[in-house]
Structure 1
Amino acid sequence: MAAADSKLEKGQPYNEKEQEHDRDSALWIAPTTLLTKAHFLTDVDPERSTFPLAAYCFMTGFIDAICFSAIFVWCAFQTGNTVQLALALARLFDGPVGQRDGSFHLPDKQALTSVLTFIFGAFLGRIGDRIGSKTRLWLFLGTMIQALFTMAAALCIWKSHQPSVANARDDPAWSNALSFVTVGFMSASMGLQGIMGKRVNTQFATTIVLTTVWCELMADPNLFRLNRFVITRDHKVIGIVALFLGGFASRAILQAIGSAGTLGIGTGIRVLIAVWWLFVPGKPAKAVKK
């Protein structure tokens, strides 16, 4: 709308085509029918979902920093947890018979908890397939469920009375039953976020695993065209930077107020993201007709 305001200030006409272009490129709307069924059941425009999806990436770094700082296990990056479980299984065959380590170590139990609850959270995302995976209703409700999982994690780790930061990999800060529940809720929230991000189908991918995003960014033919906006490149960069900032902010807050307080702040951020989905524009009328 900046172009329109400039024209109006100079007394120049602002035609309908320019108004329509501004509407079709805006990243948010102020709907007069916010609480209507039609508004909730309308699909968002993936190309204009930049802000909430970038916030999803921010939350990936935010949540993972809390978990990794305490137990060196990722709640979102399940590749590492899967390999860790493979190593735990391989340990059963290490050494001569009768002298093998057959115990299931604490970090391995925590990794297994994370993998299983992540899968559970991702499975919950299939609810959106029935409602409409790109509708404002599901994106709002699904993100609120993520917020509830994060709030439950905050309450569990608060009641567990466990420290927030581990001193060494062989001495995790979380070890009791409530801390396992905390890991479960955190991982479930990330699993749900991942499948919701995937269903929107943008350059942000799942919003949780950025290895593929890094590879696609390096392979982008427009990588060095710095004089123009390239959505396939720039949205990937936004996602990577958002995740980095999320991890940085989380660790800074963690050192000041601990895991429970940091997860509480994360809950508030998720609620804000949920509300933001209600203001993401739908696809332009011309695109819908096609």
Structure 2
Amino acid sequence: MELRIEASPQTEPRQNIESSRRQNIDFEERGIYGPSRLDDREKKSLQLSRASSVVTFGQLGKIGDVPLRSRASSHFLAEIDTKRTDLILIVCGFVSGLVDGLAFNAWGSFASMQTGNTVFVALGVSGQPRYPAFLWAKSLIAIMVFIVGNIFFINASRLLGPLRRSTLIASFALQTAALLAATLLVHTGVVAPKLEDPVAPIEWIQVIPLSLLAFQAAGQIVSSRILAFDEIPTVVLTTLLCDLLVDGKLYVRPWGANPKRNRRIAAFLALFLGAMTAGGLVKVSGMSSALWLAAGLKGSVTLVWFFWREKRDGEVENEAGGT
């Protein structure tokens, strides 16, 4: 269906052509006259006038959609401003505390801190500890998934553009999905929502949520590297504590004079408080409550990326970690 809109005359020559030559044109179309009394220039002007006055509903929709699509594309493909993104990574450190506090307490392995899992695998070579049996196998699976997750998130970020808004949204959405899947497995009872008995036979179903948690942890640490805050690894504290204490400006005042020190302290406290919160929640309301909280926080971070300020031309990034 076409909507025909008769265009208003824009110029005096066109008005004269429309008013004084209309009858001649009608006669010419019916074959009453032989050659047209209008010259070629006047004919072309009339044809353009008539053609430009026809607008379809589909065209009107496209005209309205183009600016919106363009703005949306520009918004999601823009690089985000990394200033203050250290606050997001500190929240992620709290999530790591929640996840690892739960994983170790419930299943005897870590999801994020692969140093501990490596020790368990090494002990397994000599058949230790005797209980729980096959602890080394669960730890080995967690390590392998963590490595695969790092490879996946690193290459996906490079392919899509590491600091693009759409890349960060996709990364954290995938991390949130992994957390939600693990949460639902525990909440629905597919994985027993109780602490593991060290002397009981191993429940291999536990490997599924443990792997999901290790995968999301890989995406989290890759994000800390992409955002160039190496002082906030979000999943480990050993090097963080060493870097904090070796800092020659550790005791400098005022407080804002050493942002790297401040971030390290905040990251340490966040992970500690996260693990402590996980222990309290498991004791009071069960395993799934800690996982629900972790998934909610990670989902909130995903939403924040939709509205985060984009990088402006000429702006300097986080001074290698010091805005």
Select 2:251's aligned residue among 203, 224, 227.
224
8 Å CA contact retained: 2:145, 2:211: yes
Select 1:253's aligned residue among 274, 278, 281.
281
| Shift of residue 262, structure 1, vs aligned partner | 2.2
Aligned counterparts of 1:104 and 1:179: Cα–Cα separation in 2: 13
1:242 maps to 2:270: yes
Partner residue of 1:26? none
| Shift of residue 228, structure 1, vs aligned partner | 3.5
Larger Rg: 2
What is the DSSP-based 3-state SS (H/G/I as helix, E as strand, rest coil) of the residue aligned with 1:48?
coil
Larger RCO (CA under 8 A, 6+ residues apart)? 1
Larger deviation: 56-65 or 237-246?
237-246
Partner residue of 1:262? 290
What is the DSSP-based 3-state SS (H/G/I as helix, E as strand, rest coil) of the residue aligned with 2:111?
coil
What is the DSSP-based 3-state SS (H/G/I as helix, E as strand, rest coil) of the residue aligned with 1:46?
coil
Matches within 5 A, 1:74-85: 74-85=110-121
Task: Give percent identity, aligned residues only.
Answer: 22
| Shift of residue 177, structure 1, vs aligned partner | 3.1
Aligned counterparts of 2:192 and 2:94: Cα–Cα separation in 1: 25
Select 1:36's aligned residue among 62, 72, 77.
72
Aligned counterparts of 2:89 and 2:151: Cα–Cα separation in 1: 20
Relative to structure 1, is the Cα distance of residues 105 and 142 closer, same or farther in structure 2, using a 3 angstrom cutoff? Answer: same
Relative to structure 1, is the Cα distance of residues 233 and 283 closer, same or farther in structure 2, using a 3 angstrom cutoff? Answer: farther
Aligned counterparts of 2:107 and 2:168: Cα–Cα separation in 1: 31
8 Å CA contact retained: 1:50, 1:235: yes
| Shift of residue 192, structure 1, vs aligned partner | 1.6
8 Å CA contact retained: 1:203, 1:235: no
Q: Which amino acid aligns with 1:42?
A: A
Partner residue of 2:171? 142
Partner residue of 1:14? none
Select 1:54's aligned residue among 90, 105, 115.
90
1:119 maps to 2:123: no
Question: CA deviation digits over 1:61-106, x for unaligned, max 9?
Answer: 01001101112211101011112212212449xxxxxxxx9x9932
Relative to structure 1, is the Cα distance of residues 54 and 81 closer, same or farther in structure 2, using a 3 angstrom cutoff? Answer: same
What is the DSSP-based 3-state SS (H/G/I as helix, E as strand, rest coil) of the residue aligned with 2:209?
helix
What is the DSSP-based 3-state SS (H/G/I as helix, E as strand, rest coil) of the residue aligned with 2:104?
helix
User: Post-superposition, which runs of at least 4 consecutive aligned residues in structure 1 deviate over 6 A?
Assistant: none
Aligned counterparts of 1:288 and 1:220: Cα–Cα separation in 2: 24
8 Å CA contact retained: 2:191, 2:206: no
Partner residue of 1:180? 207
Aligned counterparts of 1:160 and 1:53: Cα–Cα separation in 2: 31
1:67 maps to 2:94: no
TM-score by length of 2: 0.69
Relative to structure 1, is the Cα distance of residues 197 and 288 closer, same or farther in structure 2, using a 3 angstrom cutoff? Answer: closer
| Shift of residue 233, structure 1, vs aligned partner | 0.8
8 Å CA contact retained: 1:110, 1:180: yes
8 Å CA contact retained: 1:88, 1:104: no
Question: CA deviation digits over 1:107-166, x for unaligned, max 9?
Answer: 112111211111222222021111111222111111111111011111222333524334
Select 2:222's aligned residue among 175, 191, 195.
195
| Shift of residue 53, structure 1, vs aligned partner | 1.0
Aligned counterparts of 1:73 and 1:50: Cα–Cα separation in 2: 28
1:287 maps to 2:323: no
Partner residue of 2:195? 165
Relative to structure 1, is the Cα distance of residues 270 and 223 closer, same or farther in structure 2, using a 3 angstrom cutoff? Answer: same
Larger deviation: 244-253 or 39-48?
39-48
8 Å CA contact retained: 2:169, 2:306: yes
What is the DSSP-based 3-state SS (H/G/I as helix, E as strand, rest coil) of the residue aligned with 1:165?
coil
TM-score by length of 1: 0.76
